[in-house]
Structure 1
Amino acid sequence: MPQGKVELYDLMACNVYMDFENTGLPKEQHKFLIAFYPTGGDPVHELIDSITARGPNGYVAEVANQPYTISNLNGHIFDRTTNSHWYMINLYSGFMEPGEYVIEVKCKDGSVKTISRVQDNAPSDKLMAAYLPQRERLKASYQPGQCQPLPAGTALTGVEVTCDSLKELSGVDCWTVFRICEASNSKEFDPQNLYWWDNIFLERFSNPEAGKNRNRIRIPVELKAGSAFTYFSELTDGNTMGGTNICIFQPYQTFYT
């Protein structure tokens, strides 16, 4: 019999503005991200049968029990920062209706776990209104930016990525999540094999301001010499999973060491 305990940690059910380029997908989406505690035994995907999202007006979506990829956008991801898995599904049917969304997890031992949150579209609308007029300026402000090599002699530990702050440009607060992967373009970006990411949702327990209004990100791990690295920043309206109403995925950028 599978061994381990299934316990839900948090739920991010929110709007997504997918500002990745040349995907052919609608930019206005929504997603569910269900985070689990470490099971103390077998990985959580071996302990559950199904995950269902339910919402207003008969809304139902099924979260797949499969590895998440940039092709299927539906499944589980192992997070090395917490030694646990979380599940994510991106849905193309536009922004969410406001209201309560419930996740139901059916486990192989017959138990059922649930978690819920309430979507508020007012903070989502506010962040979108701040972002869209500044989109091109923000994209161009990233250094190292698209197709740039690091200057000769740059130390590969503690590399900083700098950018304009949306707060400075618009007056609206936002929080930034940063993800980087060893990849030469967006199609090679592997969410299952991140080189590093800053888990502001965990960091906030020691730093309540984690991720807020940043204009620089220090990558604490050593980058591999002679490699291509692709990254993107995700703007949110908060640094708690359950309190997030929107995620804005800014365009990928690639640089070379």
Structure 2
Amino acid sequence: MAESTVRIFDIMACNVYWDFDGSPLPREQHKFLVSFYPTKGAPTPELIDSIVAYGPDGYRVEFANQRFTPDNKNGYIYDRTLDYYWYMVNLATGFLPEGEYTIEVTGKDGTVDRRSRMQRQESTDALVPAYREHRQQILDSFAPSGRQRLPEGTALTDLVCSWRTLKELAGRDAYYIYRLAEGGSAREFDTQNLTWWDNIFFQKLRGDATAGLNRDSVTVAAELKPDTTYAYFVEITDSNVQSETNICIFQPHQVFTTP
């Protein structure tokens, strides 16, 4: 198969509990995501004709072949660290019914690739109530947070960020994904331009079977800029494999400023 042929790496079709501060959107949502192997010779979006997700009872939604933004919530994101594209669409229409979901990708060369997964409700029923019950304890535990300015002399490398987990507070196993970007709010947070993120999916692929499991801190493997405001958020999931994920909990962004 030519390197310029679009090939699916993995997919997500899962529930989302949307807990971003100040968002007018409902908490119960769902999303679809499809990640691709790198394509050589042309950016992946130039090779795609259409992407469509299908589900039970005639469910159908189209991915847009455009740059994903906080406003459109539908399009592609480029990960410059691994030189690959992934597409995502967030839908504020409640949780998904259980059942099989398929994402089908058609390339401009006529090739078709598809991947399916089964969505289950059990993890949502376990993790979302536990998160709601302990939400304030979790939010109070984030460090750094509170829009604070870090103390003078704080190193701009190897910054440690920490939080309490559902394992500690509720006895629930879960996986944690950390994302950091410049900006002082969820609105300013640019998914297309992350300063650093804790890619547990890639870590799992590289052989760390428990990557992200009950993780209560990260050490940021990037040098931060001085006198700059950053925001980060920690996502809670039930798996470190995209196609095995049934629920993602998007926690509120935490903000701090470097000295």
State the partner residue of 1:249.
250
State the partner residue of 1:120.
120
1:128-207 equivalent positions in 2, closer than 5 A: 128-204=128-204, 205-207=206-208
State the partner residue of 2:76.
76
Determine the C-alpha separation between the residues in 2 that align with 1:160 and 1:206: 24
CA drift of 1:129 comes to 2.0
Q: 1:183-215 CA deviation, whole Å, 9 max, x = no partner?
A: 122211111111111110010133111111011
SS in 2 for 1:217: strand
SS in 1 for 2:202: helix
* Preserved CA contact (<8 Å) 1:81 1:199: no
AA aligned to 2:241 is: T
CA drift of 1:140 comes to 1.3
Task: Mark the runs of 5 or more structure 1 residues left unpaired by the alignment.
Answer: none
* TM-score, with structure 2 as normaliser: 0.96
AA aligned to 1:255 is: F
Determine the C-alpha separation between the residues in 1 that align with 2:186 and 2:172: 29
Alignment RMSD = 1.2
The count of residues paired between Structure 1 and Structure 2 equals: 256
State the partner residue of 1:210.
211
State the partner residue of 2:102.
102
AA aligned to 2:207 is: S
State the partner residue of 1:230.
231
CA drift of 1:43 comes to 1.1
SS in 1 for 2:127: helix
AA aligned to 1:210 is: A
Determine the C-alpha separation between the residues in 1 that align with 2:60 and 2:246: 19
* TM-score, with structure 1 as normaliser: 0.97
Determine the C-alpha separation between the residues in 2 that align with 1:22 and 1:256: 20
SS in 2 for 1:186: coil
Runs of 4+ in 1 over 4 A off after TM superposition: none
